């Protein structure tokens, strides 16, 4: 393909016609199949790195949960180590978003990914030498979370650098599909790997996967950014991001709705899963992997479903319907009596949860001005910092009233919130993709085009 000037959103101009990297023109909107975004080479490398990184993360999360519960037999300790992982997210992610808007995204991704790889290898060596105590696991979790706090906002922001704007809903959904493909396979693989090779072997595998992620970053051609406005301090840039969210009612409401999964839904399904596997279903580490993988399989199906929607407009109604399904599935799971029944319910819960989160993230990303993308994305990711807090609440609740009652309570609260938003917040109920895709916030200046060289 000939080299053409490219605008800030990755779409080339050609004598008044707009031509994207796949050769589609603005005169005829490109037909977006489920895998449309893979027409863009650099996005494909980014997606591959996301898959490899999430595979390592799911193997790690499953292995870490099993080690901690096996050592302590305490649901509260599971919640506590999860909470430690959330502290860097709350403290560092906003500054990471500022860095994503000011500095080289390539180097931010490379440095943070190499640090994650080295840290994981060190823990694997410690486990192999039987030199790891519980405090080492807390320290590893905190340091690993710092690396992820710098890595993830940049990785999400870069999507907008690598595909044209009309492909963003598909690209975001395919990122979720990649994440959930490993969420379906990673935990079950981790369960069998624990049984076969022990936890140390799992951490060596993770380190290898993270090293492969480094190579995918090296193959990406990042667009050149205009010089950052370094005359303004990082604190001022961060404050500008919060001011934007405070003034823009659509972004503000979408971020608030994004609080629900990490605070109520994900802790119920993730933090307490070792308790269900070990004490309720007596299924061992393989059972833990099977339960987590069932939820991940549902998430994969949900992400592929969302990717296939193309330009489906009624995203607000879709979002609320999916959240209702999550709450109902969670209550049903709490009262499930057998492993096969629990697995089928977790597939449904994962499907609805991923449709909800992908739709929420797509709507928010489409509403953000390009020059604010890193900062607002990092503010959105503060929601994930609440998941450890929710995990701590879930763990303490499970010690007091039991894991099934805790899951039923948290998902019941989700149902109540969904009904209230549906009835009393028409802005969300009637939200349309066309509405947010074409809007330019009145209180923000539109971003200047960024020249891109490939």
Has residue 76 got a pLDDT over 60? yes
* Residue labelled with tokens 């790891």: 132
Instruction: Give the pLDDT band (50/70/90) at residue 22.
Output: very low
Has residue 405 got a pLDDT over 90? yes
**Is the pLDDT higher at 225 or at 148?**
148
Instruction: Give the pLDDT band (50/70/90) at residue 244.
Output: confident
> Average pLDDT in the 390-416 region?
91
Has residue 355 got a pLDDT over 60? yes
Has residue 40 got a pLDDT over 80? yes
Considering the entire predicted model, what is its pTM? 0.67
For 247-283, how does the pLDDT look when each residue is reduced to its tens digit (9 = 90+)? 887 788 888 888 888 889 888 877 788 889 888 888 8
Domains of the chain: 12-25+37-437 (1.20.1250.20)
For 136-168, how does the pLDDT look when each residue is reduced to its tens digit (9 = 90+)? 888 898 899 888 888 887 888 788 788 887 788
> Average pLDDT in the 19-41 region?
60
Instruction: Give the pLDDT band (50/70/90) at residue 47.
Output: very high
**Is the pLDDT higher at 55 or at 22?**
55
């Amino acid at each position: 393909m000939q080299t053409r000037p490219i605008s800030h959103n990755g779409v080339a101009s050609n004598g008044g016609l707009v031509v994207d990297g796949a050769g589609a023109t603005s005169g005829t909107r490109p037909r977006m199949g489920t895998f449309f975004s893979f027409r863009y080479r650099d996005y494909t490398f980014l997606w591959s790195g996301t898959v490899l990184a999430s595979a390592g993360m799911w193997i790690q999360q499953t292995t870490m949960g099993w080690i901690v519960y096996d050592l302590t037999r305490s649901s509260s300790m599971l919640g506590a180590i999860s909470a430690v992982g959330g502290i860097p997210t709350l403290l560092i992610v906003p500054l990471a978003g500022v860095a994503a808007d000011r500095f080289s995204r390539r180097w931010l991704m490379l440095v943070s990914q190499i640090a994650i790889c080295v840290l994981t290898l060190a823990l694997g060596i410690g486990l192999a030498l039987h030199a790891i105590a519980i405090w080492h696991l807390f320290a590893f979790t905190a340091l690993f979370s710092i690396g992820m706090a710098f890595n993830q906002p940049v990785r999400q922001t870069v999507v907008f650098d690598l595909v044209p704007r009309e492909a963003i809903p598909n690209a975001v959904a395919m990122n979720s599909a990649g994440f959930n493909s490993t969420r379906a396979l990673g935990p079950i693989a981790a369960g069998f790997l624990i049984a076969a090779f022990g936890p140390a072997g799992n951490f060596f595998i993770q380190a290898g996967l993270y090293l492969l992620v480094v190579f995918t970053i090296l193959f990406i051609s990042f667009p050149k950014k205009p010089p950052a406005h370094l005359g303004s301090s990082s604190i001022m840039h961060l404050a500008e991001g919060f001011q934007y969210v405070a003034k823009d009612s659509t972004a503000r409401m979408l971020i608030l709705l994004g609080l629900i999964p990490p605070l109520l839904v994900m802790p119920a399904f993730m933090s307490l899963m070792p308790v269900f596997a070990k004490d309720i279903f007596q299924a061992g580490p393989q059972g833990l992997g099977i339960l987590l993988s069932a939820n991940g399989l549902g998430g994969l199906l949900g992400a592929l479903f969302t990717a296939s929607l193309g330009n489906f407009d009624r995203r607000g109604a879709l979002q609320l319907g999916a959240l209702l399904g999550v709450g109902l599935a969670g209550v049903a799971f709490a009262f499930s009596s057998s492993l096969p029944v629990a697995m089928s319910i977790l597939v449904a819960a994962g499907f609805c949860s991923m449709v909800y989160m992908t739709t929420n993230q797509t709507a928010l990303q489409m509403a953000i001005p390009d020059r604010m993308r890193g900062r607002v994305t990092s503010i959105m990711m503060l929601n994930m910092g609440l998941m450890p807090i929710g995990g701590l609440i879930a763990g303490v609740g499970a010690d007091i009233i039991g894991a099934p009652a805790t899951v039923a309570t948290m998902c019941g609260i989700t149902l109540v919130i969904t009904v209230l938003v549906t009835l009393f917040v028409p802005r969300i109920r009637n939200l349309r993709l066309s509405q947010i895709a074409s809007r330019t916030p009145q209180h923000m200046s539109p971003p200047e085009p960024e020249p891109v060289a490939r």
